[in-house]
Every structure is written in C-alpha cells, then in structure tokens.
Amino acid sequence: MPTKKDKAPEIPVLDFERPVVELQRKIATLKLRSKGTQDISRELRLLEDRATELQKRIFSEITPWQKVQLARHPARPYTLDYVSRILTDFRELHGDRRFADDGAMIGGLGFFDGIPVVLLGQQKGRKTKEKLARNMGMVKPEGYRKSMRLMDLAARFGHPVICLLDTPGAFPGIDAEERGQAEAVAKSLEVMAALPVPIISIVIGEGGSGGALAIGVADRVLMLENSVYSVISPEGCASILFRSDDRKADAAAAMKVTAPEILRLGIIDEIISEAPGGAHRDFDETAQNLAAAIRRNLAELMPLPPQRLKDLRYDKYRRMGAYVESGGKNLS
C-alpha cells in the first residue's frame, strides 16, 4: 500500500487523472536515469511544478461522477488501513453473539492519542477472496448487531465511538432479509441516537444508503473530500429516474452526493482534506488529516456530560431537511 516513501506504481489509473500520473511516472523515470550523470535538477523542478499545477487544475474541475469514481477507487485506503495509522494497540472483536461474525463490519477497541475508543467501520476487500469474505463492504444483520454490541460496550465504559463509513449499501441478499436486515439497521439508528458517549462518523469512501447511515448517527459527521454520501447509487438512481444506466453521471450531479454539496445542505459538519491527487496517492498524509479532525472534534465533545450530548444530537437531526403538513404550510 502506498506511503510517502513507497508509492505503488501498479495503482489503477482513472481516465481523468491519467495525464498527471503519466507525467509523474516520467519524472520518476528521469530521476532514476539521471543518477550519477549530469545535473538536471532545474529541469526536474520545472516538470514537478508542471505536474503539481496540472493536478490542481484537473482536481478543481472534476465532476460529481468523477468524485464517485475516486470514492470507489480500488487502491483507496479502507478502514483497516486507517486503523493501523491512527490507533495503537487495536484489538478487533468478533461476532454478534447470535448468529455469526460479519467480515464486512470491523469493530474493536484501541487507543487514539492515549484515549481508549471503540472503532467501527465497513471493510471492503482488495483481492477476490477477500472481497467475498468481506461481502465487498456490504454489511449483513449480524454485522450491525456486532456494532451495536460494541456500542453498548462503549456506553458502559464511557469510551468515545469512531465510525468509518465505506459501503455501497447494506447487503441486499435474501439471507440478510430473512435475518432482519431492516430491523437491524433501524435498531442501530435508535441505539446511536441514545448513546451517552461522543460519536464521530467519517465517510472515507462510499457512504451508501441505510448501510452507511446505520453507523452514521453521530455528534459529528465528517467526509473526506473525495468521498460521496447518498441514499442510492448513481447507477440505481439513473435506472429508476432515467431508465438508463448511461445517465449515471447526470444522476450523480442531480443527487448532490459530493462533500461540498452535502456540507451546504447541513448534513455533515466538516470536510477533511486528502493527499494531493486523492487518498490513494498517499495513505499516510490522508490518515494524518483524518486523525487531526478526530482529535479536534473529540476535544470539543469529550467534556460534555452524557445528557447534553444526547440533547445536542437530537437537535442536530431535528434541524435537517423540511416537511410539509397536509394543509400546505412549510415547517422547515
């Protein structure tokens, strides 16, 4: 996995980022070939400046659909990649004590800056075998019941809860429905609303539908800048509204799925910067930004008494959205 010292050249490249990646590869090749020969540092600096400017221009103009592609990037850091970088002494706990362990939901105890915390997060797989074991990040009822079990543990011991959201949605299979998928998601929302400890939820990739929202009812909801958060995938929206998968880019734009748009709607509280070129270009820098945001928000939330936390959480979600009574009066 890429770090500042070890960037993986085999990272898949999206079409819109190809010009930057190809220029960066040329620079890397030129550096290798110039070792022990004439000094070309000035030419290298010019090329690096050009690559930086090109990257800034491209990423300042990317469309909502391109943001969706970045959020799904196969080399993007997943929950366990962040866990290893922001927590110490992490101990994963398994099982819902009813049916099974769900590999799509990671949960356990660790220390963040010396503070004991409970961390929950959806985990996708990279290779085929791991994707199958993780259900490609789509959680089944036992996964949500595992997360609720750990939330209860956090409440009993007074530990803050950190949730990392990265899923296309809850698992839609018949077996999940037979074991009460909808009830598990709904119960998770209820449990989170009443937790007496600070909760921070962060969308690190795809925040898809109720599968993400099930661990997204938090005191602070944050998003990485190239993540997305929506009630349905752009493909699903396009097939329903436009009757054509070819219009998924139009659907992504209409749905307001990107972090700046969702911040304007008041759904999230903060956007976290990623490494230049996206989180997949530098896991470490993105993890440092993520940790800084968690640190800042925990410092504000931890001094608050339990009832105050629950009251503020209630008010936060009551302020979202708008509704209209049958008489037609807008009570937003």
The per-residue pLDDT of the chain, averaged, comes to 87
**9 within a domain of the structure (yes/no):** no
Determine the pLDDT at residue 328: 56
CB-based contacts of 5: which residues, under 8 Å, 6+ apart? none
162 is in which domain, residue-wise? Answer: 68-318
Whether the pLDDT of residue 6 is over 50: the answer is no
Segment 271-300, tens digit of pLDDT = 999 988 889 988 999 999 999 999 999 999
pLDDT digits (tens, 9 = 90+) for 153-191: 999 999 999 999 999 888 888 999 999 899 999 999 999
Looking at residue 330, its pLDDT comes to 58
One domain for residues 122 and 178: yes
Given this model, what pLDDT does residue 244 score?
Answer: 83
DSSP 143-173: HHHHHHHHHHHHHHHT--EEEEEEESSS--S
Lowest mean pLDDT among 30-34, 47-51, 226-230: 30-34
CATH code, domain with 223:
3.90.226.10
pLDDT tens profile 239-259: 888 888 888 888 999 989 999
Report pLDDT for 10.
62
Alpha helices in 64-118 (DSSP H): 64-71, 79-86
Greatest mean pLDDT range, 48-57, 96-105, 112-121, 165-174 = 112-121
**7 in a domain, yes or no?**
no
Q: Is residue 2 situated within a structural domain? A: no
Tell whether 22 and 105 lie within a shared domain: no
Residues 90 and 172 in one domain: yes
| 4 pLDDT higher than 50 | no
